[in-house]
Structure 1
Amino acid sequence: MIGVFDSGLGGLTVLRALVDRFPDKPFLYLGDHANLPYGNRPSAEVIDLTRASVEALFSQGCKLVLLGCNTATAVAARHLQQTWLPSSQWRGHNVLGIVAPTVEAATQTPWAVSSPQYPQKYNTDLIAVFGTTRTINSDAYPEEIRKRCPRVTVVQQICSQLAGAIEDEAPEAELERLVEEGVRGVNAQTNGMPPHRAILGCTHFPLVEHLFRRHLPPFTRILSQPEVVADSLEDYLARHPHYIAGDRGHSVTLLTTGDPAEISARARVFWPEVSSFELLAA
Structure 2
Amino acid sequence: MQNSSPIGIFDSGYGGLTVFRSIADQLPDYNYIYLGDNARSPYGDHSFETIYKYTLECVEWLFEQGCRLVILACNTASAKALRSIQQKDLPVKYPDRRVLGVIRPTAEVIGDFTLSKQVGVMGTRGTINSESYLIEINKFSPDIKVHQQSCPMWVPLIENNEHLQPGADFFINEYCNSLMEQCADIDCVLLACTHYPLLLPRLKTVFPDYINILTQGEIVANSLVDYLRRHPEMEEKLGKQGKKLFYTSGDTATFDSHASIFFGEELVSKQM
Normalising by structure 2, we get a TM-score of 0.91
The answer to whether the Cα contact below 8 Å between 1:166 and 1:175 also exists between their aligned partners in 2 is no
The answer to whether the Cα contact below 8 Å between 2:119 and 2:147 also exists between their aligned partners in 1 is yes
The answer to whether the Cα contact below 8 Å between 1:102 and 1:229 also exists between their aligned partners in 2 is yes
The answer to whether the Cα contact below 8 Å between 2:107 and 2:140 also exists between their aligned partners in 1 is no
The answer to whether the Cα contact below 8 Å between 1:194 and 1:217 also exists between their aligned partners in 2 is no
Q: Which residue of 2 aligns with 1:238?
A: 229
Alpha-carbon distance, 1:7 to partner: 1.0
Q: Matched residues in 1 for 2:122 and 2:26: separation?
A: 25
From 44, 51, 65, the equivalent of 2:49 is 44
Q: Matched residues in 1 for 2:266 and 2:126: separation?
A: 28
Alpha-carbon distance, 1:41 to partner: 2.2
Q: Partner of 1:270: helix, strand, or coil?
A: helix
From 2, 13, 16, the equivalent of 2:21 is 16
Report the identity percentage: 38
The answer to whether the Cα contact below 8 Å between 1:2 and 1:27 also exists between their aligned partners in 2 is yes
Alpha-carbon distance, 1:180 to partner: 2.3
From 103, 106, 115, the equivalent of 1:102 is 106
**2:155 is equivalent to residue 150 of structure 1:** no
Q: Matched residues in 1 for 2:61 and 2:69: separation?
A: 12
Alpha-carbon distance, 1:225 to partner: 0.7
Q: Partner of 1:78: helix, strand, or coil?
A: helix
Q: Matched residues in 2 for 1:181 and 1:194: separation?
A: 18
From 250, 253, 256, the equivalent of 1:258 is 250
Code of the aligned partner of 1:242: E
Unmatched 5+ residue regions in structure 2? Answer: 1-5
Higher relative contact order (CA 8 A, sep 6+): 2
The answer to whether the Cα contact below 8 Å between 1:194 and 1:216 also exists between their aligned partners in 2 is no
Q: Matched residues in 2 for 1:241 and 1:172: separation?
A: 46
Once superposed, what is the RMSD of the aligned Cα atoms? 1.9
Alignment deviations for residues 114-145 of structure 1 (CA, whole Å, 9 cap, x no partner): xxxxxx9xx86100001111111111111221
Aligned length: 265
Q: Matched residues in 2 for 1:242 and 1:21: separation?
A: 20
Q: Partner of 2:71: helix, strand, or coil?
A: strand
**2:212 is equivalent to residue 221 of structure 1:** yes
Unmatched 5+ residue regions in structure 1? Answer: 109-119
The answer to whether the Cα contact below 8 Å between 2:186 and 2:211 also exists between their aligned partners in 1 is yes
**2:179 is equivalent to residue 186 of structure 1:** yes
Code of the aligned partner of 2:133: Y
Q: Matched residues in 1 for 2:234 and 2:66: separation?
A: 11
Q: Matched residues in 2 for 1:274 and 1:75: separation?
A: 31
From 185, 193, 198, the equivalent of 1:202 is 193
Q: Which residue of 2 aligns with 1:79?
A: 84
Q: In the superposition, relative to structure 1, how do residues 249 and 153 fare at CA in structure 2: closer, same or farther (>3 Å)?
A: same
From 248, 251, 276, the equivalent of 2:268 is 276
